[in-house]
Amino acid sequence: DTGVSQDPRHKITKRGQNVTFRCDPISEHNRLYWYRQTLGQGPEFLTYFQNEAQLEKSRLLSDRFSAERPKGSFSTLEIQRTEQGDSAMYLCASSFIPSDTQYFGPGTRLTVL
């Protein structure tokens, strides 16, 4: 399978713990996006990278959230001191400029108890 992959698929954690998610984009895709989707809502943009540079961050991305894409390939999204409101599906997407199409991964379902 050469699509976008995300790991883990599911994560259950206790409030206050730190969690880290990984996204592997489609090979050679230079853009990588993170979105968050809560139940019954559409995905909401969090941040995106072009190669290794983080070009934009949403106001939704509080100081507890940090994302990296160290070598312009895979990316990690870390949430520190998780809160119950962080429970959501975290989606990763990638694209190859100049194509407009964003390809989404299966997501990581986070549950904060």
Partner 1 sequence: QQQVKQSPQSLIVQKGGIPIINCAYENTAFDYFPWYQQFPGKGPALLIAIRPDVSEKKEGRFTISFNKSAKQFSLHIMDSQPGDSATYFCAASANYGGSQGNLIFGKGTKLSVKP
Is residue 83 involved in binding partner 1 (CB under 8 A)?
no
Site stretch for partner 1 (CB under 8 A), options 13-21, 31-39, 59-67, 77-85: 31-39
Q: How far is the CB of 2 from partner 1 (least distance, A)?
A: 15
Binding flag, residue 1, partner 1 (CB under 8 A): no
Contact code string over 38-77 relative to partner 1, x by CB under 8 A: --xxxxxx--x-------x-x-------------------
Q: How far is the CB of 28 from partner 1 (least distance, A)?
A: 16
Cβ density class 95-109: b for 16+ within 10 Å, e for less: beeeeeebbbbebbb
Largest CA distance in the chain: 41
Token output for 58: 């949403």
Beta strands at 10-13 and 108-112: parallel, antiparallel or unpaired: parallel
CA distance 26 to 4: 5
In the list 4, 19, 61, 88, the residue contacting partner 1 (rule: CB under 8 A) is: 4
Of the two residues 72 and 106, which places its CB atom closer to partner 1 in the complex? 106
DSSP state of 86: G
